Amino acid sequence: MKKILLGGLIMVMAFTLAGCEKAPKYERVSWNVNPETVSEGVRGFGTYTNPLFRYELRVPKGWTYQDDATDLEGGRKVVFYPENKKLTDEYKGAVIVKGFVNWNVGYSIGDYFRKEVERDLWDSEIEKETIRVDDREGTLLREVTGLPESEKMDVIGFELADRIVEIRLMDNSEDAKLLLNSLNFYGDKVIDPAAE
């Protein structure tokens, strides 16, 4: 009788453990794409321009965006995503680009990530790397958790004189990589209204 019970217990445990599947590991990707691949890859893509934060990028075929702009200058938050998906409470988009006016506070990228996002992203637990896009240096934060858009994502911040551009990358597809690497920043010269 004990052998039957023990055998049954072993079978139940085997089925239980077999049914436990680990959550898929976050896929770590390289966001840098060589310029030739970007030039070839973005042919036929649409262009999104944001004059307020002085950048533009290429929108992949079959993708769309939602801009929070209230005028023609471009918004502080733009969400890019495939057209076959719908923004919902569960799906927040594939790539989010946020702009922050920095001329009046003069934050470093570390200050910005400490003070202006939903949680302090400048802690020692988050891996930081330097990344270059459009010949500009940015800070890539790897495997960020605790932000509302996704359980885990990569976040990039560019400190550009009078503004900061933050990019949240929830989708690591080739289209998302091309979108990021097609980014062009306009000049950093701020026009003094008194000089005109």
The whole-number pLDDT of residue 16 equals: 44
Number of domains in the chain: 1
Cα separation, 165 vs 128, in Å, equals 17
- Flag whether 95 is in a domain: yes
The whole-number pLDDT of residue 92 equals: 93
- Flag whether 80 is in a domain: yes
Whether residue 55 has pLDDT greater than 80: yes
Q: Which residue has the higher pLDDT, 80 or 21?
A: 80
- Flag whether 113 is in a domain: yes
Domain range for 115 is 30-188
Cα separation, 78 vs 116, in Å, equals 17
- Flag whether 12 is in a domain: no
- Flag whether 24 is in a domain: no
Whether residue 104 has pLDDT greater than 70: yes
- Flag whether 74 is in a domain: yes
Nearest residue to 188 via CA among 48, 51, 54: 54
The whole-number pLDDT of residue 70 equals: 62
Q: How far is CA 31 from CA 6, 14, 48, 61, 169, in A?
A: 52, 41, 20, 19, 10
Mean pLDDT score of the chain, rounded to an integer?
81
Q: How far is CA 113 from CA 28, 47, 62, 165, in A?
A: 21, 28, 32, 11
- Flag whether 6 is in a domain: no
- Flag whether 148 is in a domain: yes
The predicted-structure confidence for 45-54, as pLDDT tens digits, reads as follows 999 999 889 9
| Residues of the chain above pLDDT 90, percent | 43
Cα separation, 164 vs 112, in Å, equals 8
The predicted-structure confidence for 130-183, as pLDDT tens digits, reads as follows 999 888 999 999 999 888 888 899 999 999 989 999 999 999 889 999 999 899
Q: How many CB atoms lie within 10 A of CB 164?
A: 24
CATH code, domain with 124: 3.40.1000.10
Q: How many CB atoms lie within 10 A of CB 42?
A: 20
